[in-house]
Amino acid sequence: MAGKKNTAAAATKAPSLSGFEKSLEELEQLVRDLEHGELTLEQSLSTFERGVGLTRDCQQALKSAEQRVEMLVQNGDGSLETRPFHEHSNDQSNEQSNEQSDQSSNS
């Protein structure tokens, strides 16, 4: 039974970045198939379920990629450093950078 759990976990794992493109293409095809309107109800439900799974996989891949992105930040002394990207901290860093620029300009 443990083998089934491992297989299930692997099946729900987010695609790699290269697999992301394939998943996205498949998702787009599923949407076209559903919009075309020639599927049976059972086929439509199955296609929809597959689409939901692909959407979740793609969202997980994007989240993983975002966590890997680092932003380059200029310190007050002019040196540069990289920091992990966080949307909220990015806004704070931009505000701090603008404040530092303003202080430098006023000096």
Q: What is the 3-state secondary structure (H, E, C) of the chain?
A: CHHHHHHHHHHHCCCCHHHHHHHHHHHHHHHHHHHHCCCCHHHHHHHHHHHHHHHHHHHHHHHHHHHHCEEEEECCCCCEEEEECCHHHHHHHHHHHHHHHHHHHHC
| AA letter at 77 | D
| Predicted confidence (pLDDT) at residue 48 exceeds the cutoff of 90 | yes
| AA letter at 10 | A
Could you give the percent of the chain with pLDDT greater than 70?
62
Of the two residues 50 and 98, the one the predictor is more confident about is 50
Architecture of domain 13-88: Orthogonal Bundle (1.10)
Could you give the percent of the chain with pLDDT greater than 90?
38
pTM above 0.85, yes or no: no
Dihedral angle of Cα 37, 38, 42, 48, to the nearest 10 degrees: -40
36 contacts 30 by C-beta, under 8 angstroms: no
Identify the band that residue 81 occupies on the pLDDT scale cut at 50, 70 and 90: confident
Burial class (CB within 10 angstroms; exposed 0-12, middle 13-18, buried 19+) of 78: exposed
Q: Name the average pLDDT for the chain.
A: 74
